[in-house]
Amino acid sequence: MALPPVFQNLRLPVIGSPLFIISNPELVIAQCKAGIIGSFPSLNARPLSQLDEWLDQITSELDSYNKANPDRPAAPFAVNQIVHKTNNRLDDDMELCVKYKVPLVITSLGARQEVNDAIHSYGGIVMHDIINVVFAHKALEKGADGLIAVCSGAGGHAGTLSPFALIQEIRQFFDGPLALSGSIAHGGAVAAAQAMGADLGYIGSAFISCDEANAVDGYKDMIVDSKAGDIVYSNLFTGVHGNYLAPSIAQAGLDPNDLPQSDPSAMNFGSGGNQKSKAWKDIWGCGQGIGAIGERMSTAAYIDRLAEEYEQAIGALGQRKAFVPATARAKQNQAAGIG
């Protein structure tokens, strides 16, 4: 199935995932101008009036950029909506998404048909975060246009399934837009995601260290200095399992190797979420792919590097000879009089 028109202006098949607190208009605009879909959670803008300001800023700047650069227009942007029962701002945030005709809406932590219908009313596209096929079916039944498979190793509220397992199962019943999230920080990983059946890579943690991201220097430096082995999977901080940087947990006075358990009742997005809690301020989320990040740089420079890595990976695959089974090799040798 061909991807919808919203994906046509991409330089790379990549969505910059919405990062709570960290994604802001500056990061989103830089991502879009560099050729990938930039996104942010609507709850990052608070109070509600700031969401109106952010959407006006993003749409205005991208429109101006497109008029000045008709030969290389910016990629579209996306807004993430937390469709959890505790998010009492959802209806107001959705009204603003409709007002600005946000091209792509990413829904998480629940699926509601009325949300999808509102986005479809002006021709927008909805992609929904899922961690297994049960949630995938529910999202599609409620009218989602595409899926984001959040697999083992992803930052934030990651799933536990291997991407090989989840992507192949999804493709047995769904041929629409499919993004893969989980340890992707290198252009070769984007190519691998496509090879296994996804349409797009979904990259979040790597952007935390970029200049435009709304993250403190200590967080950015820890992204650069850490590897996959420094990631801890825990449900303590939000009630839902997620991946976090072990050094940040230790800095908060906790033992990353001996964390107590929590439960889903601890999750609360009321009034836009709790930015003052340790879950968001002192404990830093991160996926396992950060071993590919060795320095801090601008968003544009990082996407340039991604593009180069992606092209190299695709080229290398094209030059690799197809594997020939042993039985076929024996027949070839016999026909050639070898052996």
Q: pLDDT value at position 131?
A: 95
Average pLDDT over residues 112-128: 96
CATH ID of 9-222+285-319, from 3.20.20.370, 3.90.76.10, 3.20.20.70, 3.30.160.340: 3.20.20.70
Q: Where are the domains of the chain?
A: 9-222+285-319
The residue with tokens 């340790």 is: 278
Alpha-carbon dihedral sign for residues 43, 14, 177, 64: positive
The residue with tokens 């290198």 is: 186
Q: pLDDT value at position 84?
A: 87
Alpha helical stretches, state H, 69-162: 90-99, 113-120, 133-141
pLDDT category, 157, cuts 50, 70, 90? confident
Residues near 218 by beta carbon (within 8 Å), at least 6 away in sequence = none
Q: pLDDT value at position 278?
A: 47
Q: pLDDT value at position 272?
A: 47
Q: Answer yes or no: is pLDDT of 320 > 80.
A: no
Can you read off the two tokens belonging to residue 145? 């246009």
12 Rama class: left (phi>0) / alpha (psi -120 to 50) / beta: beta
What span, in angstroms and rounded, lies between the C-alpha atoms of 243 and 263? 15
Average pLDDT over residues 222-250: 92
The chain-wide mean pLDDT, for the chain, equals 91
In this predicted model, what pLDDT tens digit does every residue of 34-73 receive, in sequence order? Answer: 999 999 999 999 999 999 999 999 999 999 999 999 999 9
26 by DSSP, 3-state: which? helix
In this predicted model, what pLDDT tens digit does every residue of 78-114 receive, in sequence order? Answer: 999 999 888 999 999 999 999 999 999 999 988 899 9
What span, in angstroms and rounded, lies between the C-alpha atoms of 134 and 327? 41
Q: pLDDT value at position 266?
A: 57
Q: DSSP labels for 244-272?
A: EEHHHHHHTT--TTSPPP--GGG---GGG
